[in-house]
Structure 1
Amino acid sequence: MGILQELSARFRPDKVKLQLNDIQALILRSRPEPYVGIHSMIHVDEAAGGRDLLRRLADHIPAASGWTDELDSWTGVAISYDGLKALGLPETSLESFPLAFQQGMAARAEQLRDFGENAPETWEDPYRPGTCHIALTIYARDDDALDDVLAKAEAELEKSTGITLIGTHRFGADEDAKNPFGFRDSISQPLVDGSGVDPLPGQERAIAPGEFILGENSETGSPLAMPQPAPLGRNGSYTVLRKYQSRVGAFNDFLREQSADEGEQDYIAAKMFGRWQSGAPLPLAPDRDDPELGADSRRNNDFSYEDDHRGLVCPHAAHMRRLNPRDSQLTILSDVNIHRIIRRSSTYGPKWSRDVTSESDAQEDRGLFFIFISARAFDTIEFLQQEWINRGNFVDLGEERDPIVGLHQTPGTFTIPETPVRRKIDGVTTFNRLRGGEYMFMPSLTALRWIGDGAWDEGASP
C-alpha cells in the first residue's frame, strides 16, 4: 500500500475539527512515494501582475479536505515578507507578521548560526535577500504527471505580466524515498489533532493543531498571534525553506577513513543518522539493518528512548535523536512538543552510491531542500540551529554538533556511547552546505483569493 493510500485508509471524516477545505493540502498531506517535482521561485515586479497570478493560481491549489482524492499532482504556494510587500499589502497587515519573518532568513544569520561557508553572501542568486517573493512547489507521482501540470503552470505564467521567474529546480526520489546519503527520509511526522487521521504506532500523542495551523489552539491552550485581518491569517501557516548541497563523497570518504570494512562503515553511518539506510531505527534494529522493518510504516517509528537513557543503542548525538529527542532525558529542559515540525523535504540529484568520492562533489549537483511547516517555524528553526544542531549542551556534549547538518568550521567530533568507555570519532566536517533559503508564509485558500483580489483596497473581506 502506498503512503497516500495508507493515509486515506486512516482518514476519519467524523473526527475532523479543522477547516480542511481552506487549508493548503501540502500542509497536512504527505508527498507520494516515489515522487518527482519542481520548486519555482518568482519575483513580483508589479503588484497588480503578482496579485493576478495568485488569483488564478488559487484555483489550482488543492485543499487538505481531499485526503482520499486520487490526484496525480498538486501544488503548494508560499510568499515571503518582501513578496507580501511587493503585492501591495497594507502596512497594518505587514506589521502584524512576526519580526523574524519581516526581517527574512538572511538577516537572521546570527540567530541561525549561518556563518562561513553557509553565510548569506555565499548563497545562490534566487535566494539573495529580497529576491524570492513567491515559491511554488509541485509534487507529482511520476514524470508524465509532472510534465502535464508543468505545461498548465507555464501557460499561466505566460499569461502573466509584472512577474519574473527567477529559478526552478527539479527534484525526485524513487519508492525508497531516500535522501542524498542513501537513507530513507521523512519517516517521523507529527499527528495533528483534529485533522481526522488515525495515528500510526509510535506516532506519539496528537499535537495541538495551533502548532501548525494559525487560528487554532496551540499546546499552550490558546492560539498563537496571527496576521491580520483574520481572512489573511486564519488557516495559514509558516514554512522554512533551506536548500542544502550534500557532500556525499566527503561523507563516504569520512566513513572509509574510519574503516575499510563496509559493514563497519554502515554501522557508523547508522549511529550518525539514528537509523539504518532502509529507515529501520536503531532502537528496533540495534545490530544490523532490517529493510522489511524500514519499509513498514506501522513499525519503523514505533519506539522510544525510555530504555536507552545512556545512548548505547542510539547515540544522543545522532541526527534523528537530536531533532526529535522524544522521551530522552535532556540536560537543558525544553518542551519537545512545541518544536515539532511537519517536514516536506525533497531530494535532488543522483542517487547515493558507495563509490562516490569527494572528487565527485564538485561535479555532481545533489542535495536536499529542507522544508518544514509550523506556526512557530521561525522560533523553531532558530532554536534548532542554536541548541539542537550546532551545540551539544542539551545532551551534555558541550560544543559537539549534529554530525549530518551541523556547521563544522573546524573538524568536529561524533560521540558513540559504548562500554566501558565512549568512542569519539574525529574529522566530522560540514556534509551539507547551505546554498540559500527564506522564511515564507503559506496562506489559506481564502487568503490567497483575498490577496489576489486586493480586497483591502475596498475594505472588503471574503
Structure 2
Amino acid sequence: MGRLSELRARFKREHVTLDLDDIQGVILRSRPEPYVGAHAMLHVDDAVGGRDFVARLADHVQSAKDWAEDLEAWTGVAVSHEGLKALGVPEASLKSFPLPFQQGMAARALQLVDNGLNAPEHWDEALTPGTCHIALTIYAANQAALDTALTTAKDVLERSSGVTLLATHPFGVDEQNKNPFGFRDSISQPTIAGSGVIPQPGQERTIAAGEFILGENSETGSPLGIPEPAELGRNGTYVVFRKFASRVGAFNDYLASQTTDPDAQHEVAAKMFGRWRSGAPLVLSPDHDDEDLGNDPARRNDFSFKDDPKGMMCPHSSHMRRLNPRDSDLTIMTDVNIKRIIRRSSTYGPSWSPEVTVADDAKEDRGIYFVFISARAFDTIEFMQQEWINGGNFVDLGPERDPIVGNHDDDETDGRFTIPAEPARTRINGITTFNRMAGGEYLFMPSVSALHWIGAQGWVS
C-alpha cells in the first residue's frame, strides 16, 4: 500500500474541522513514493512586480482540500521576512512576526550551532543571508507531471517583472524513498487534529492543529500568536529550510574504519540512525534488518521505547531517538508533543552506494534539504540544534552529539557515540560532520487567501 493509499484508508472527511480550502496542500500532503521535484529560490527586486508574481503564482498553489487524494504534482510557496519587506508588507505586520523570523536564519547561527564549515560565510550563493526572498517547492509523482508544473511556474515568472530566479535544484528518489545514506526517509509524521485522519499505528493520539496551523488551538488549549492582520496570518505556518551537502563517502569510510565486515558495518550504521536501511526500527528488529517490516507502514512505526529504557536495542544517542524521543525517560523534561514537526525533506543527487569514498564527496552533488513545518518552527529547530542534536544532557550523555546531523567541528568528545550493552557500554569515536550546512532560511508559508491578499496589496483599503 502506497503512502497516499494508506492515508486514504485513515481519512474521514466527517472528522475535518480545519479550513482545508485555505491551507496550502504541501503542509498536509505527504510526498509520493517515488517522488521527484524541484526547489526554486527567488529574489524580489521590485515590490509592485513582486506582488504581481505572487498574485499570479497563487492561482497555481494547491490547497489541502483534497490532500488525501491522488495528485500528480503540487506547489508550495513560502516567503522570508526580507521577502515580505521587499513585497511592501507594512511595518506593523512585519513587526508582528516572531523575532527569529525577523532576524533570519543566518543571524541565528549561534542558536543553531552553525559554526565552522557550517557557518553562513560558507553557504551557497542563492542562500546567503537576505538573498532568498521566496522559496517555491514542487513535488510530483513523476517527471512528466513535474515538467508540466515547472512550465507553469516558468510561465508565471516570465509574465511577471521585478523578480529574479536565483537558483533551482532538482531532487527525487525511487520507490525505496532512501536518504543520501541509503536509509528510508520521513517514516514518522504527526497526525494533526482536525485534518480528518486518524493516527497511524504507533501514535497515541493526534497533535493539536495549532502546533502546525496558525489560528488553531495548540497543545496549550489556545492559539499561538499569529502575524497581523488575521488575513495575513490565519491558516499559515512557518518553515525551516536548510540545505545540507551529505558526505556519504566520509560516512562509508568511517564505517569501514570500525569493521571490515559489511554486515557489521550495516549494524553500526543502524545503531547510529536507530533504524535499519529498510526502515525497520531497531526496537522491533534489534538483531537484523527486516525488509517486510520496513516496507509495512502499519507496523514500522508501531513501537514504543518503554520496553527499551536503557537503549539496549536502540541507543539513546541514535539520530531517530534523539529527534523523536517518544516515551523515553528524559533527564531534561520536555513536552515532546510541542516539538513534533511535519517533515517535507527532499533528497538530491545519486543514490547511496557502499563504493562511495571520501574522495567522491567533493565531486558529487548529493545531499538533503531538511524542510520542516511547525507553528513553533524557530523555537523548535533552535531547541533541537542545541539540546537534541548538538548536546546529550537530555539523555545523560553530556556533550555527545547526534552522529548523523550533529556539527562535530568543535566536538569536545572527539566524535563519540555511545552504544549501551551488557556488561559494559561501547563507545566509538572519530565521528565527523557527515552533513555540511550549505545554506537556509526561516520562512513563512501563508494561506492560499493570504497569498492573494499579498498579491492584491490587501493592506490598502
Q: Is the 8 A contact 1:8 1:67 kept in 2?
A: no
CA distance in 2, matches of 1:416, 1:205: 31
Shift of 1:144: 1.1
Q: Is the 8 A contact 1:188 1:203 kept in 2?
A: no
Q: Does 1:455 align with 2:458?
A: yes
SS in 2 for 1:62: coil
Q: Does 1:419 align with 2:422?
A: yes
CA distance in 2, matches of 1:358, 1:328: 35
One-letter code of the match for 1:418?
A: A
Residue in structure 2 matched with residue 58 of structure 1 by the alignment: 58
Residue in structure 1 matched with residue 3 of structure 2 by the alignment: 3
Shift of 1:8: 2.0
> Which runs of structure 2 are paired with 1:50-449 in the superposition (5 Å)?
50-409=50-409, 410=411, 411-449=414-452
Shift of 1:377: 0.1
CA distance in 1, matches of 2:252, 2:313: 23
Q: Is the 8 A contact 1:11 1:67 kept in 2?
A: no
Alignment deviations for residues 103-156 of structure 1 (CA, whole Å, 9 cap, x no partner): 000000011111011000110011111100000000111111111111111111
Alignment deviations for residues 246-294 of structure 1 (CA, whole Å, 9 cap, x no partner): 0000000000000000111000000000000000000001000001100
Q: Is the 8 A contact 2:55 2:451 kept in 1?
A: yes
One-letter code of the match for 2:439?
A: G
SS in 2 for 1:232: helix
Q: Is the 8 A contact 1:189 1:203 kept in 2?
A: no
Alignment deviations for residues 360-419 of structure 1 (CA, whole Å, 9 cap, x no partner): 000111000000000000000000000000000000000100000000014410000000
Shift of 1:175: 0.5
One-letter code of the match for 1:232?
A: L
One-letter code of the match for 2:445?
A: M
SS in 2 for 1:21: coil
CA distance in 2, matches of 1:155, 1:92: 33
Which runs of 4 or more aligned residues in structure 1 lie more than 3 Å from their structure 2 counterparts after TM superposition? Answer: none
One-letter code of the match for 1:147?
A: D
Q: Is the 8 A contact 1:171 1:349 kept in 2?
A: yes
Shift of 1:455: 1.2
CA distance in 2, matches of 1:236, 1:455: 16
Q: Is the 8 A contact 2:306 2:328 kept in 1?
A: yes
Q: Is the 8 A contact 2:29 2:68 kept in 1?
A: no
Q: Is the 8 A contact 2:22 2:448 kept in 1?
A: yes
Alignment deviations for residues 219-259 of structure 1 (CA, whole Å, 9 cap, x no partner): 11110000000010000000000000000000000000000
Q: Is the 8 A contact 2:28 2:67 kept in 1?
A: no
CA distance in 2, matches of 1:282, 1:441: 36
CA distance in 1, matches of 2:167, 2:214: 29
SS in 2 for 1:172: strand
CA distance in 1, matches of 2:418, 2:121: 32
CA distance in 1, matches of 2:112, 2:36: 29
CA distance in 1, matches of 2:338, 2:117: 30
SS in 2 for 1:240: strand
CA distance in 2, matches of 1:449, 1:201: 38
User: Normalising to structure 1: TM-score of the pair?
Assistant: 0.98
> Which is worse superposed, 68-77 or 443-452?
68-77
Q: CA RMSD in A?
A: 0.8
One-letter code of the match for 2:190?
A: P
CA distance in 2, matches of 1:262, 1:69: 41
CA distance in 1, matches of 2:182, 2:114: 26
CA distance in 2, matches of 1:33, 1:199: 20
CA distance in 1, matches of 2:204, 2:190: 8
Shift of 1:5: 2.1
CA distance in 2, matches of 1:457, 1:130: 26
Q: Does 1:42 align with 2:50?
A: no
> Which is worse superposed, 251-260 or 191-200?
191-200
Shift of 1:68: 4.4
> Which is worse superposed, 62-71 or 300-309?
62-71
SS in 1 for 2:429: strand
CA distance in 2, matches of 1:276, 1:169: 29
One-letter code of the match for 2:49?
A: G
CA distance in 2, matches of 1:277, 1:204: 25
CA distance in 1, matches of 2:52, 2:4: 32
CA distance in 1, matches of 2:203, 2:189: 7
Q: Is the 8 A contact 2:240 2:371 kept in 1?
A: yes
SS in 1 for 2:252: helix
One-letter code of the match for 2:418?
A: T
CA distance in 2, matches of 1:417, 1:68: 41
Alignment deviations for residues 290-338 of structure 1 (CA, whole Å, 9 cap, x no partner): 0110011000000000011100000000000000101101111111111
> Which is worse superposed, 52-61 or 239-248?
52-61
Q: Is the 8 A contact 1:4 1:30 kept in 2?
A: yes
The count of residues paired between Structure 1 and Structure 2 equals 458
Q: Gaps (5+ residues) in structure 2? A: none
Shift of 1:204: 2.7
Q: Is the 8 A contact 1:35 1:174 kept in 2?
A: yes
SS in 2 for 1:241: strand
CA distance in 1, matches of 2:266, 2:57: 45
Shift of 1:65: 1.3
Shift of 1:203: 2.3
Shift of 1:19: 0.5
CA distance in 1, matches of 2:149, 2:318: 39
